[in-house]
């Protein structure tokens, strides 16, 4: 298909000018500046008299065990969240794609967590995780289960934001899956039924190959968003409580930058996170081409 | 969509059981906000699980509207969010059109650089912007906040718009151009009206991203007069003892319009997302 139209040579550039000027000024320039900061020693104490220190910041990052712990936690956070988002979202989409009475009603209820501002979800859940008066422990007690120290034990204080993030993240995958499921032509199923395929076979050989091209970019995006998401952990664990033990890499960078004022260290850490993500995406795109489905 | 064959009864019961279970888990935290907002001040420490608390009162709503700074926060948030929306829509609708309808030097680089920004950890933008704003005395101003939000919202808006433009047949504009219409007129009179769903998504997305943003606001804004809604509500939630009912009442007032809008626009949102975001 010839997707272009005839216009003066300068026309597309004129259209691009405002957005590109904005991007250069408020995105590209700050990003370059971040790389610059990563090789200096800017902090609250050296805010104006910072100097070039080469790879010192990176050396410090890689020489401390905290980096490896945070890297592991970031991976754990991302893998657990994205797999649960996908599993729950796909499961509910399959249920809703069938002939279910009240489908629109269920669908509306189930997307509400996506509609709710994330900070309100996080703050509300934090209240619900309160040891004595929070709804979660009260329900556990009614079920004769022991109360859980959600916000004071380092392990549970990490589980709590995971629960919140799973809660607010599955509707996106559900909606994406539902869209993909309803777009599958019906005759494919009819053909499979004529061949005597079981329900599992139909899912495995008709549904799955049809929804995979839609799910792959959604999962890729979801992975990047989750890896980079800060607000849930930050608010549920109240800035990393107890004692900065609930951080993943990005929340740690935020804390180091804006609570401990170690600007250059934080800038260097951001660069490391960016390179990790870039590596992940390049690796994934080499194997699949989710964004090139159309040229 | 046709209903197909009738399912066995057991499958139907099980389906509903799961859907009800997940729906309950979904709405319980939202109901919890309602419950807490209705609590009288003397029973904030309550171990009751009743949905409507004993001696339910609307006092917290009165307090949040007339005794707290809630309306100021709302005005501040509206001001910033509307500015971001205007910038987002204007910049994204024009740039995305160029990417959709023209091939030019740096087309691929430009398009993929927008995508690349999604890979940056937010701090990689926040920190240098913070340092630069500090140097330019833009900290603690709405201008600073607007700049930061537009920077983060723009790439997603451009991709959504471009994906949607791609689905509009180019023949319409080609016909208009043959009829003697200029490219700018063809764009504003033909393509832009047809792209109304994507424009709505872009506007909504820009607005919502600013309306609900907490972490950037927290570092840019420091004076209480300039607090946006997320900052204000968080300051109430921090005081678990005394302000919990006020926090809940305020949250509900913020949430309900946003959620209603989201549910109403949901179908457009999904088509805009899947066309723009996913198929690319």
Look at chain B and report how many structural domains it folds into. Answer: 2
Residues B72 and B97 in one domain: yes
Residues B36 and B88 in one domain: no
Contact B101 A4 (CB under 8 A): yes
Give kind and range of the element (H or E) at residue A244.
Answer: none
Q: How far is B32 from chain A (nearest CA, A)?
A: 8
* Class of domain A53-287 as given by CATH: mainly alpha
Give contacts of A110 with chain B, Cβ < 8 Å: 19, 22-23, 26
Query: Could you tell me what percentage of chain B is helix, strand and coil, using 3-state DSSP and rounding each to the nearest 5?
Result: 75, 0, 25
User: How many helices and strands (H and E) does chain B possess?
Assistant: 14, 0
Give contacts of B184 with chain A, Cβ < 8 Å: 11
**For A70-83, what is the mean pLDDT?**
96
Instruction: Supply φ then ψ for residue B28, to 5 degrees.
Output: -55, -50
Residues B91 and B230 in one domain: yes
Residues B57 and B95 in one domain: no
With a CB-CB cutoff of 8 Å, which residues 83-122 of chain A face chain B?
A: 88, 91-92, 95-96, 98-101, 106, 108-121
Is a pLDDT exceeding 90 seen at residue B229? Answer: yes
Q: Mean pLDDT across chain A, nearest whole number? A: 88
B238 assigned to some structural domain: yes
Contact A257 B123 (CB under 8 A): yes
B24 assigned to some structural domain: yes
Report the candidate in B142, B158, B156 with the shortest Cα–Cα distance to residue B216.
B142
Is a pLDDT exceeding 60 seen at residue B274? Answer: no
Residues B175 and B41 in one domain: no
Residues B101 and B151 in one domain: yes
Residues B80 and B147 in one domain: yes
Contact A110 B23 (CB under 8 A): yes
Nearest residue, CB atoms, B98 vs list A3, A16, A278: A16
| CA–CA gap between residue A295 and residue A293 (Å, rounded) | 7
Residues B262 and B149 in one domain: yes
Q: How far is B47 from chain A (nearest CA, A)?
A: 6
Q: What is the pLDDT of residues A173-226, one digit of tens each?
A: 998 898 888 888 888 888 888 888 888 888 888 888 888 888 888 898 899 999
Q: What is the pLDDT of residues B32-47, one digit of tens each?
A: 999 888 888 766 677 7
A242 touching B, CB under 8 A? no
B4 assigned to some structural domain: no
Nearest residue, CB atoms, A267 vs list B99, B127, B219: B127
Residues B223 and B272 in one domain: yes
Q: How far is B276 from chain A (nearest CA, A)?
A: 11
Q: Which of B124, B231, B250, B263 to probe the A interface (max A CBs under 10 A)?
A: B124
**For A233-258, what is the mean pLDDT?**
91
B128 assigned to some structural domain: yes
Q: What is the pLDDT of residues B67-112, one digit of tens each?
A: 888 999 999 999 999 999 999 999 999 999 999 998 888 888 888 8
Task: Quote the radius of gyration of chain B (alpha carbons, Å).
Answer: 24
Residues B195 and B232 in one domain: yes
| CA–CA gap between residue A213 and residue A1 (Å, rounded) | 22
Cβ atoms of A113 and B258 closer than 8 Å = no
| CA–CA gap between residue A267 and residue B130 (Å, rounded) | 12
Question: Pick from B43, B62, B81: which residue ends a domain?
Answer: B62
Cβ atoms of A136 and A148 closer than 8 Å = yes
8-state DSSP, A295: -
Task: Quote the radius of gyration of chain A (alpha carbons, Å).
Answer: 24
Q: Which of A16, A160, A265, A276 to probe the B interface (max B CBs under 10 A)?
A: A16
ipTM over 0.90: no
Of A131-135, A185-189, B3-7, B24-28, which gets the smallest average pLDDT?
A: B3-7
**For B139-151, what is the mean pLDDT?**
91
Q: How far is A155 from chain B (nearest CA, A)?
A: 22
The ranges assigned to domains in chain A are 53-287
Instruction: Supply φ then ψ for residue B138, to 5 degrees.
Output: -100, -5
Residues B38 and B74 in one domain: no
The whole-number pLDDT of residue B241 equals 64
**For A268-281, what is the mean pLDDT?**
93
Q: Considering chain B, what percentage of its residues have pLDDT values greater than 70?
A: 89
Give contacts of B36 with chain A, Cβ < 8 Å: 127
Kindly report the pTM of this predicted structure.
0.87
Report the candidate in B33, B40, B36 with the shortest Cα–Cα distance to residue B56.
B40
Domain of residue B161 covers: 68-278
The whole-number pLDDT of residue B76 equals 95
Q: What is the DSSP string of B9-22?
A: HHHHHHHHHHHHHH
**Residue in chain A nearest B5 by alpha carbon:** A99
């Amino acid at each position: 298909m010839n997707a272009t139209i005839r216009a003066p040579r300068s026309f597309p550039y004129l259209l691009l000018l405002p957005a590109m000027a904005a991007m250069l000024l408020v995105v590209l320039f700050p990003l370059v500046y971040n790389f610059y900061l990563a090789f200096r020693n800017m902090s609250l104490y050296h805010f104006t008299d910072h100097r070039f220190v080469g790879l010192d910041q990176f050396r410090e990052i890689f020489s401390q065990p905290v980096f490896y712990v945070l890297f592991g936690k970031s991976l754990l956070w991302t893998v657990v969240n994205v797999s649960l988002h996908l599993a729950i979202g796909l499961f509910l989409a399959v249920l809703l794609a069938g002939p279910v009475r009240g489908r629109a009603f269920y669908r509306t209820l189930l997307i509400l967590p996506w509609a709710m501002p994330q900070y309100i979800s996080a703050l509300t859940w934090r209240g619900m995780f309160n040891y004595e008066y929070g709804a979660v422990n009260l329900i556990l007690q009614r079920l004769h289960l022991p109360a859980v120290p959600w916000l004071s034990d380092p392990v549970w204080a990490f589980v709590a934001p995971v629960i919140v993030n799973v809660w607010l993240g599955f509707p996106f995958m559900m909606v994406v899956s539902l869209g993909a499921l309803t777009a599958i032509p019906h005759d494919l199923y009819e053909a499979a039924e004529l061949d005597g395929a079981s329900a599992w076979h139909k899912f495995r050989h008709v549904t799955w190959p049809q929804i995979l091209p839609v799910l792959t970019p959604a999962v890729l995006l979801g992975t990047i968003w989750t890896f980079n998401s800060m607000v849930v952990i930050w608010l549920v664990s109240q800035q990393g409580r107890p004692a900065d033990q609930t951080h993943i890499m990005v929340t740690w960078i935020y804390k180091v930058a804006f609570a401990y004022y170690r600007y250059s260290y934080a800038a260097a850490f951001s660069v490391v996170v960016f390179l990790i993500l870039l590596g992940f995406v390049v690796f994934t795109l080499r194997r699949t081409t989710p964004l090139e489905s159309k040229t | 969509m046709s209903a197909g064959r009738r399912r066995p009864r057991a499958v139907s019961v099980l389906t509903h059981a799961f859907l009800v279970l997940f729906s309950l888990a979904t709405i319980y935290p939202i109901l919890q906000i309602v419950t807490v907002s209705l609590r009288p001040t003397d029973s904030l420490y309550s171990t009751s699980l009743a949905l409507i608390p004993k001696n339910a009162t609307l006092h917290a709503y009165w307090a949040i509207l007339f005794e707290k700074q809630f309306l100021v926060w709302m005005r501040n948030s509206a001001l910033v969010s509307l500015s971001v929306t205007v910038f987002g829509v204007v910049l994204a609708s024009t740039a995305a059109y160029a990417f959709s309808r023209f091939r030019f030097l740096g087309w691929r680089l430009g398009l993929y650089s927008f995508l690349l920004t999604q890979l940056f950890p937010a701090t990689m933008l926040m920190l240098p912007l913070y340092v630069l704003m500090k140097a330019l005395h833009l900290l603690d101003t709405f201008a600073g906040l607007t700049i930061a939000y537009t920077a983060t919202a723009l790439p997603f808006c451009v991709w959504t718009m471009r994906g949607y433009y791609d689905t509009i047949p180019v023949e319409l504009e080609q016909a208009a151009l043959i009829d003697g219409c200029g490219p700018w007129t063809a764009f504003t009179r033909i393509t832009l009206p047809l792209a109304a769903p994507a424009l709505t998504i872009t506007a909504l997305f820009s607005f919502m991203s600013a309306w609900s943003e907490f972490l950037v606001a927290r570092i840019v804004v420091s004076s209480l007069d300039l607090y946006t809604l997320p900052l204000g509500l968080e300051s109430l939630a921090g005081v678990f003892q005394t302000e919990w009912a006020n926090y809940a009442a305020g949250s509900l007032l913020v949430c309900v319009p946003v959620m209603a809008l989201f549910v109403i626009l949901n179908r457009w949102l999904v088509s805009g997302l899947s066309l723009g975001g996913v198929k690319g």
